[in-house]
Structure 1
């Protein structure tokens, strides 16, 4: 499980739909939620953890265009290559993140240590923890 700690900077709501904006280092992440009644400590200025699974962290070549809001530059720091799956470890501004992809796709992408990639996490794939 990937965990990033950040500060809530905006809460936007429309009925039961809530968009939470969170600053992590120099990036702003968006989290799409259905209601916030379960998170009583979710307030502007409070710190929260963003949690997302390894298979929810995608990546693509630099300068790509995407509709995903949470995109950020990260560098490969370690590749754990299995027969079926690869665990790709990234450094995002000093924070460690993991992505799990198929070995076939890892080979096709030509992943190497120290490469830079544009990473992304969809807003509805993130869970908040106060």
Structure 2
């Protein structure tokens, strides 16, 4: 199994999560939603491809190595949450509390996996 690939993809998703938080804060401040077909859909499609590549590798790594306090279901939920916030980040009417909660949850799981991979 290629731990390096899982690690690199995990780092990419951590960066994307931070990008989504920054995007949301900028959109919320400006009050202007982004265009779905020009901005939102291309970004979401690109992120989904990265998530689809990361998830099976990460789940396999967790099932093989069985780290404490990290389970495959958390990775699956994180993938779903990332896809959800990737759309909601571009709209100012998204609930701040709920959005930040999802971002923090994603960040926790991804950083937990990163720490385990660093060993």
TM-score scaled by structure 1? 0.20
- Normalized per residue, the structure richer in strand is 1
- Normalized per residue, the structure richer in helix is 2
Larger radius of gyration: 1
